[in-house]
Amino acid sequence: MAAAAVISVLILAVIWRQSSRPGVGRGSPPGRALARILLVLIVLLLIAFEDPSVASHLVSGFFGGIKAAVSGFADFLGGLFH
């Protein structure tokens, strides 16, 4: 589960970083973020056509990783300010 947390957070960080960089003619940051998130969903959809159980495990692992990362961060802040 720790690996899923790290990978999930890294994916979100890369999407955020790539979407927030300024550039002429690159579109708005929210639009770029949405495009990248849709790209991830399209890849998951293509994987689901090949093997639905793998796609289900990828989605479960991704959201489980985000949950673990947020819980760990909350525990860290709780210990820091306790």
Give this prediction's pTM: 0.58
- The DSSP call for residue 39 is H
As a whole number, mean pLDDT of residues 51-73 equals: 80
* pLDDT of 78 strictly over 80: yes
Coil/strand/helix, residue 45: helix
Long-range pairs for 14-23 at CB < 8 Å and ≥24 separation?
A: 15/40
* pLDDT of 1 strictly over 60: no
pLDDT-derived band at 76, boundaries 50, 70, 90: confident
pLDDT tens for 7-53 read 777 777 777 777 777 666 667 777 777 888 888 878 877 877 788 88
Sign of CA dihedral 20, 23, 26, 28: positive
